[in-house]
Amino acid sequence: MFCTLKEFFLQGRFIFGPDVRSIFLTMFLIIAPVVAFCVFVARHLINDFPGDWGISVMVVAVVFTVYDLTLLLLTSGRDPGIIPRNTHPPEPEGFDGSNDNGVQTPQQLRLPRTKDVMVNGISVRIKYCDTCMLYRPPRCSHCSICNNCVERFDHHCPWVGQCIGLRNYRFFYMFVFSTTLLCLYVFAFCWVYIIKIRNAENLSVWKAMLKTPASIVLIIYCFLCVWFVGGLSVFHCYLMSTNQTTYENFRYRYDRRANPYNRGVLNNFLEIFCTRIPPSKNNFRARVIVEQGLQQTRVPSRGFMSPNMGKPVGDLEIGRKPVPWDEPRTAADIRDLEVGLGGFLDEKEGRLTHASPDLSRDDLPADLIEGRDGMHSRRSSWVERTRTKESVDTVL
């Protein structure tokens, strides 16, 4: 099954998160100061440099902005590494189907909550995802916002409106780092313009700054942004050097135990930037075939149950409120039971004690149809309600 809570554009060529609208705010925060820089600063610097160096100030700003927005689009509109969902829980290991005609105990039916796998000689515990009905691979986690399991899950970034995972982490870091460089570029040339005004008119720095209020606004804006995107760049540079994800750094703290994924500083950087990005496991452009009885296929014929079947569950990794997993199914069973009880007729004359729910009014004798029409009035009495309760107990 495909992912949920995603926005698809151009027939599945772009896959955005549910909060895709935040990308427009991010684009505005990048484009608006660059436009102000080109209009109020770079335009006046064209004639202040010899040759074509003056116009190159504006060209570099525009090209760098386009490059930054391209990385933003690659980060936000790309499959981060979504693992396709299963239609039913997996079979337990070692199950050979020999007990199909026997009675299986709950221990045989219930899947284990966790499993241990070996990664580079170190035992790593993986968890079962009740939503996707699969055992998450190592470094995989379920995003509560996108409602999907993502390989090498790092975090869900609200600024790009997408999960950051195996297939877009490289572009995410390049976007953050290029945004840092763009802020430093605008910040530096705003000061260059102020110095040019001071030297040309023999003014103090403060009076020169008053001559160009746009430069003051851009300097303050870029200074604040550099603390955010620059700090984020340094933090993720540390994570890449130690081969960690943001999720692992805050949850597992590998400084207290061995990191099974650490291959050395150089190899860790090569793994991020120089390895081939694996293809997506989802074909978002394929046609979805609606199978008959899809609801029935979600309940496996062998009767395998999720680890938390029949009790309130909550994924501790995503912070959801625990809810009974079988609450909708219980309501459906009650409705089915009510329909089934309509076929149990207990007439006073004893002519019919059980009738199948498939019988129609045309197939029944006239005297039985007359008895069915009076059934609702008899059920209102206490005696008939007691009989109905006994019939429910018998069916259960």
CA–CA separation, 80 vs 17, rounded Å? 10
Helices 169-201 and 231-241: angle between axes, nearest 10 degrees = 140
CA–CA separation, 187 vs 68, rounded Å? 17
What is the residue-wise DSSP string for 299-317?
S-TT--B-TTTTSEE--TT
What is the residue-wise DSSP string for 313-370?
E--TTTTPPPEETTHHHHHHHHHHHHHHHTT----TT-S-S---TT--TTTS-HHHHH
CA–CA separation, 126 vs 71, rounded Å? 32
- Alpha helical stretches, state H, 202-308: 205-211, 213-225, 231-241, 246-251, 265-273, 294-297
Helices 231-241 and 265-273: angle between axes, nearest 10 degrees = 110
CA–CA separation, 389 vs 47, rounded Å? 94
Which long-range contacts link 280-287 to residues 24+ away (Cβ below 8 Å)?
A: 280/79, 280/81, 280/82, 280/167, 281/81, 281/82, 281/83, 281/84, 282/2, 282/3, 282/79, 282/82, 282/84, 284/2, 284/8, 284/12, 284/15, 284/79, 285/11, 285/12, 285/13
Which long-range contacts link 93-96 to residues 24+ away (Cβ below 8 Å)?
A: 95/302
CA–CA separation, 61 vs 151, rounded Å? 35
Catalytic residues: 157
Neighbouring CB atoms inside 10 A of 59's CB total 12
The H or E element containing residue 71 is: helix 53-76
Q: CB under 8 Å to 61, separation ≥6 — which residues?
A: 34, 37, 38, 42, 182, 185, 186
What SS3 state is found at 242?
coil
